[in-house]
Structure 1
Amino acid sequence: MASRSFYIHITIYAFVLLPLSMCAGIGGLKWVSVNLPHFRRPGEAAHLHCDYDLGNDTLYAVKWYKDNEEFYRFVAKERPQSTSYRVDGVDVDVSASDNKKVVLRPVRLRTGGLYRCEVSAEAPSFASAQSEGRLEVISLPIEDPKITGVRVQYQIGDEINLNCTSGRSYPASMLHWYINEEKISSNSVLIRYPTRKSRQGLLTTVLGLRFHLNNHHFLGGSMRVKCVSSVSRSDLDDRTSVIENLPITDLREALLLVRNSADLKQNQYIYTFLIIFVMFSMKFL
């Protein structure tokens, strides 16, 4: 069985820019606000909403940008009113989009980014205002972390030399080793390998563990070695204000149980049993 227990912290953030135009008259365009999905997975659709209050003004156009590149425009007086532009990672369903929303399908890893909606009014005010928010694309691992390098038997003084490999994910998984439930943080026993990237953009991390067995490693005649993989996303900066935190529980771990056979047989061998516990849970708050 394999224990998988990922802690995923996904943070969505958005902020509103003040109206850019100083020409807005009293009773004209008042505000613009975007409403984006908390997160999306590859293959899903994303509905981006742009709400606004024109006051006494008349709508001229609504424009959408991803990372400062325009990918959709709605012009009220033009026919057709909606136009999309090629931007990497953005696939607009024009038939399902209008002046208040844009539908992206399918979502890909490159779809993630900063999205901005800009609303402008007709003459005589020519008022303009905008709002923006970040859309995250998350791909959870399908595979459990795996421990490799296990030998059939060990003796006191032998070297433990293990690798823990995460399942492919986006963003990259973080790996941690535990011995008898104590987290290992010493770089002298940890081996860090470069992150591997697949053709699909998914990331795999590997963390090694190397140390020599001593008597103090054993509690009650056995030692438990655990590798825990977690994924987190927290890219806040000083320019943003947090509006929601959405934790997703998906914690996975691989366990290695090492028993001291000297308690059962009068020798110094330690027999190793690899036990993989699998547990998968997901919770949206």
Structure 2
Amino acid sequence: MYLFVSGSFALRDVKLTIPAAVERGKQAKLHCNYDMEGEPLYAVKWYKSDREFFRYTPLDTPPYKQFLTPYVHVVQNLSNGSFVVLDNVALETSGKYSCEISADAPSFFTIDASGILQVVEVPKEGPIIKGLKSRYRLNDTLKAECTSIKSHPAANLTWFVNDFQVDPVHLRRNRAHLSPDGFYSPRLGLRLLITKQLFVNGRLRIRCLASMHDIYTKSSEVSVEIEKPKYRYKTTPMPIFQWEDAQPAERYPHTTHVYPGVRSKAMSRYPHFLCYKLNNMRNRIFGNICNKT
């Protein structure tokens, strides 16, 4: 807020620099920068939500003065006319902060600047990836979910495939789970069609990154493989041919020796060569004849 009075300005370029976020339990350093243009400084006053908690007056002894404010603990020996350091910040320390610069006589100009301090609780571990399989076939749909456990506020989640950020069309943002103690566990789903171009040397790298401003960054990575197709060779059965008038196979191989029988008196009526020939042909009728007495 700028106050206009007659005459020239004795103050200008008042700026308040506040970290974008501070981790719970650590220190926060707020910087109030200004140019007095040769005018004497009367006081620097610090406020949280319009409530003064610290004052620096160089002409007073001592020059520091604190005012009791919940969740605001000033490190006095590290604070001066330009800086104020807050120790052991809590989530409740978050809020609007202002520094007010006042010039001494004769101008008595006063200018202030304001900003927001955010205290965060970072996750105790990295993000967790669930739902991935070790192998995928072409044209399969990869489905995975990344979860960051307990933070305040919710951590930002980002998917990467082979170090390239995934297009939002492949993301499924689920509602963050809020625990009874006020911490968030955000979830971000991934749906990706498996194509050959996604794989490098047969592998696909999936990474989920969880971040909170510039004070917390952790990631988890999983690699999956492409499943090679399994070829099944089909065998065609040989046709069975039925030949007409087919002859049965020989009972014995061709190397079987056939020995002629010895002619007896009962066979004297028939020539020896005839009986031998008939026995070789296995003719029952003639066999009976040959054996006839």
Normalising by the smaller structure, the TM-score range is 0.5 to 0.7
Q: CA deviation at 1:229?
A: 1.4
Secondary structure of 1:193 counterpart: strand
Residues 215 and 27 of structure 1, relative CA distance in 2, 3 Å threshold: closer
Letter in 2 for 1:255: V
Question: Any conservation in 1 of the 2:199–2:226 contact (CA below 8 Å)?
Answer: no
Alignment counterpart, residue 115 of structure 1, candidates 97, 103, 111:
97
Q: What secondary structure sits across from 1:102 in the alignment?
A: strand
* Higher helix content, 1 or 2: 2
The yes-or-no answer on 1:206 pairing with 2:187 is yes
Question: Amino acid of the residue matched to residue 128 of structure 1?
Answer: T
Q: Is the 8 A contact 1:117 1:132 kept in 2?
A: yes
Contact between 1:223 and 1:259, CA under 8 Å: does it hold in 2? yes
Q: What's 1:148 paired with?
A: 130
TM-score, length basis structure 2: 0.57
Cα distance change, pair 220–64 in 1 and its aligned pair in 2 (3 A): closer
Shift of 1:116: 1.9
DSSP-derived class of the 2:72 partner: coil
For residues 63 and 176 of structure 2, what CA distance do their matches in structure 1 show? 46
The one of 229, 233, 255 aligned to 2:209:
229
**Kept in 1: contact 2:136–2:227 (CA 8 A):** no
**Cα shift readout 1:115-165 (whole Å, capped 9, x = no counterpart):** 321022455533212234554545554422221134577777766442211
Superposed counterparts of 1:254-269, under 5 Å: 254-262=221-229
Residue in structure 2 matched with residue 82 of structure 1 by the alignment: 65
Could you tell me whether the CA contact under 8 Å between 2:49 and 2:95 is conserved in 1?
yes
Using a 3 Å threshold, how does the CA distance of structure 1 residues 54 and 158 change in structure 2: closer, same or farther? closer
Q: Which runs of 5 or more residues in structure 2 are unaligned?
A: 234-293
Alpha carbons of structure 1 residues 262 and 103: separation in structure 2 relative to 1, 3 Å: same
Structure 1's 81 and 224: CA in aligned 2 closer, same or farther, altered over 3 A? closer
Q: What root-mean-square deviation, in Å, do the aligned CA atoms of Structure 1 and Structure 2 show?
A: 4.4
Question: Hey, what's the Cα distance between the residues in 2 that align with 1:44 and 1:209?
Answer: 35
- How far apart in 2 are the matches of 1:160 and 1:250? 25
What amino acid sits opposite 1:106 in the alignment? N
Aligned length: 231
What is the SS of the residue equivalent to 2:46? strand
Shift of 1:63: 1.6
Contact 1:31–1:129 (CA<8 Å) still a contact in 2? no
- How high is the sequence identity, in percent, across the aligned residues? 30
